Amino acid sequence: MRNRLVGILLFMAFTLASAAAFAQEKKKEVEPLKIKLGDVAPDFTLVEYDGEKVKAVSLHDFKGKKQVALAFFVFAFTGG
């Protein structure tokens, strides 16, 4: 019984130490896009959910077919 408890404690200590090591990795900062009014929007892909299925939709899907208006709602549906 005691060996099992020691094993569990060692496993937990190893797990916490591993998590701390990965948390200290520096993440590469992404440079923000500098888009001005009138610039062509860069191509991107988002996920669309129509209530039944999920599918990927890209901006290039509409090029030359429709006009697209982009609106971004910061923290939409997050309660923050």
Compute the Cα dihedral for 57, 58, 63, 68 and give only its sign. Answer: positive
What is the pLDDT at residue 56? 92
pTM of the model: 0.42
What is the pLDDT at residue 49? 83
66 or 6, greater pLDDT = 66
Residue 80, pLDDT above cutoff 60:
no
What is the pLDDT at residue 62? 87
Q: What is the pLDDT of residues 35-77, one digit of tens each?
A: 888 888 888 888 888 888 999 989 888 888 888 887 777 766 6
